[in-house]
Amino acid sequence: MFSGAVVRLQCDSSRTPTTVYATTDKNGYFFAQAPTNVTSFGANRCRAYLVSSPLATCQKPTDLNWGLTGAPLRFERWLGGPLWFAIYTVGPFAFEPANATECPPR
């Protein structure tokens, strides 16, 4: 797994469309917090997109799990405390090389 891939969260659930970018950690996970104008009821109008790879030789985003055309968010669980948050998931996403020998195995 490689850290540094960039993912875009695009939400069109409010009067003002919202875009948030996040970068993956060393395990390939990312956390993108939507602004407060995106509610759990409007999350169905949000999509996650694969933007860029940390590897110069492996830059072509694939549509695995809709990473290129926009992955719908899937509800995962509620996270509680003084405030409650809905946690959503997508992916996994992947990049591909121009030729098969350019992306190293994970």
Its pTM stands at: 0.82
Question: Sign of dihedral through CA atoms 8, 16, 75, 64?
Answer: negative
Give residue 101's Cα distance to chain centre: 26
The residue extents of the domains of the chain are: 6-96
| Contact in structure between 48 and 25 (CB atoms under 8 Å) | no
- Higher-confidence position of 87 and 41: 87
pLDDT digits (tens, 9 = 90+) for 20-66: 999 999 998 999 988 777 776 778 889 999 999 998 888 888 899 99
- Residue 44 per-residue DSSP state: G
Question: Sign of dihedral through CA atoms 35, 91, 23, 30?
Answer: positive
Q: What Rg, from alpha-carbon coordinates, does the chain have?
A: 15
**Quick one: pLDDT at residue 13?**
65
Residue 29 in tokens = 């996970």
